[in-house]
Structure 1
Amino acid sequence: MIEIFTVDAFATNPFKGNPACVCLSFMNDEHSDDFDQLFQKIAKEMNLSETAFITKSSTSTSTYFLQWFTPKNEVPLCGHATLSTAHILFDQHLSQSNELIFETKHVGQLKVRKLKENFLELDFPQGQPQPILLSETIVEELKQKLCIKSDIKGN
């Protein structure tokens, strides 16, 4: 049997917030890319924006390897599914811990701390800003919606 939780992140009531699935069935297995095809099938079956999977890290008992899958592919990072995973781990397996670490493929380590009941803090990685090209139509619409009056030009 595969153990999966559905967590409504950023909500205090069921069926509110941002849902994510959290799969704990592999938390005692060493991380291996061999799991990726199975994780993808499970995420497709769950059919939520993201399903999080944890596997064992060799680092410590409160460190796990974390991956996120949409119904179509693996994604490099997902904040609400990370917090959902931490919530389930603290609730089900790490009730005496106040901090846990997730190792990831794409963004390094993510640290989650328990602040008080139902409040978690995530050290979210700061990526490098990337320039984007916007059409003049989009720039004009943004200026209108944001009440910007200055001369900003699109490409």
Structure 2
Amino acid sequence: MTVAFIGIGANLGDARQALKDAIVCLAQQVGITVLARSSLYRTAPVDAGGDDYFNAVVKVETSFTAPQLLRICHHIEDQFGRERPFRNAPRTLDLDLLLFGDEIHGDEHLTVPHPRVAERAFTLVPLLELDPALVIPGQGPAAGFLPAVNTQRIEKFSFCQCTRQKAEARDAS
């Protein structure tokens, strides 16, 4: 079994719900156990236009190889209507294999660690929430990359809207 981290993002449709549903889809896969999920974060698109993204990171344990896990992620994206009309296009769901144990892969089909994992607040912040001592294979401690992303806007949200809805209902009465 290997511990892997999967980045989840969306900015089309009900992006927040898509992330919740994607985590359920991952958890339903035989051979994948969801160990933890980060908080939900809203971020501005990086190198793209469009609406803000909702992002999270999921820590999983899996019996699959990295290429197999990536294929499962792509299949789930397809189920959510993911289209790839151009690089960094807005998306209904994006699942990125960020880390796969201490493995390093680099070919035309799979690059792990994800090539931009240390350059994006929307991956680093949730990764460090799940594992503050995380080391990115071949790169070093993840926390060491935070200063380079501190100008990227990232806002923490709750997955559950229950508390806010209860407060709004109470205030309305």
Same fold (TM over 0.5): no
TM-score (norm 2): 0.34
Task: Work out which of the two has the higher radius of gyration on C-alpha atoms and give 1 or 2.
Answer: 1
Which has the bigger relative contact order, CA under 8 A and spacing at least 6? 2
